[in-house]
Structure 1
Amino acid sequence: MRIGVLGAGNMADALATRWARGGHDVRIGARTPAKAVALAERVGGRTVGGTLREAARFGEVVLLAVWYEGVQDVLRQAGPLTGRVVIDCTNPMEPPFEGLKTGAGPSAARRVADATGARVVKAFNLCHESVWRLTPPVFGGRPLGVPLCGDDEEALAVVRALVTDLGCVPMDAGGLDRAGLLEATAAFVVGLWFAGQDPTAMLPPPEHAGGEPLPTSA
């Protein structure tokens, strides 16, 4: 698969590296093309670096991996994305993680979709970039689940395949209207981590999630 990556930071590095090593053709673009070229050289293989527009044109699927504040400028420089599959892993978090920079408005993913006309899938936003470098991300014997929010089934199928290529398990989390919940979840759990808490401890196993059946009387 041809993957265009918008951004040359840590998330772009981690995911591009894993996908390139999995046999995908990757082209990385950045507002400073020299940074994209340098990252492509580190990733190796058939990976190429250059401008945002070059990466966007190249990809059958495009990963948006930049800080939320830079999204609009990056999309402008990337050029037309109408109808394209775009993976949005951005997080509009507002430290100290008590709110979102999107406020009460549409999610970051919805704003990307509205601005570009792309088939956007929200994914890969719940974990630090170091997690995506693991080969594979398995914890306690269980592969990492990756929630996906999107409206287009074809786009979701593409992203599911890329999740599986990382050794992770795709989790259908509903349409793009639920992406705001996923972004809020990221802010919530990051706030717990920064407070020294373990967010995984707050969720019971699935068999207990709906409550245990009441015992029957003899």
Structure 2
Amino acid sequence: MPRSTITMQVENFQRLMDTVAQVDEQGRKAVKNTVKDVKARAPGWIAAEVVQVYNIKKSEITPASGKGSKPKKMAGSVRITGETIEEIAITYEGRMLTPVHFGLTPKSPPAGKSYTLKMQVVKGQKKVIGRYKNTRTPGGPFSERSHNILMGTGSAKADGVSWIPFQRMSRERTDLKKFTATSVPQMITSELTSERIMTKLQEETAKRLQHNLDRALGR
């Protein structure tokens, strides 16, 4: 049976093989750098989407960055784990926040005057959360139950909060219920933000991967 053999002579074969190996190595390096980028930048990407919806300062939900950065007081904490893009997990923890974080007005009770407490958790949605009527007789008994009203925290810190809303639940002086609005984890997983955040993470991760691949390949 007739048979023919074609032998291909490829110039610089070893150089090409080395290039393929190099691309493979650089590709792994690009992925590793992308994981590092995502870990460093994801909290900022997430915070940017949260503040588009919620009336909270970005600085309150974004960790300090850079070497030598001083720790700052945050409304929650964030922990990022995982060594591959698929394994990355971003975990937020945080207490329930008072309206002080959401544009509470007034910030302190006007002396001897009635007032209406308002806050704005979601941007554009200012809500009344309490009213105080100045009808108390000095030295008189506490009411059976009150609206949310401003009460002193006793904080002496320079950056502390002096007044937050409480509700009096009975005539007992210490029978108080602190008014809280929401937390950082709830803001991040809410129906208002979760889809926006996932889209942002996917878009920005793809951009960083492309950037790192281009650098690795000298483009």
Range of TM-score over shorter length: under 0.3
* Higher-helix-fraction structure: 1
TM (norm. structure 1) is: 0.20
TM (norm. structure 2) is: 0.20
Higher relative contact order (CA 8 A, sep 6+): 2
Q: Computing the radius of gyration over CA atoms, which structure comes out larger, 1 or 2?
A: 2
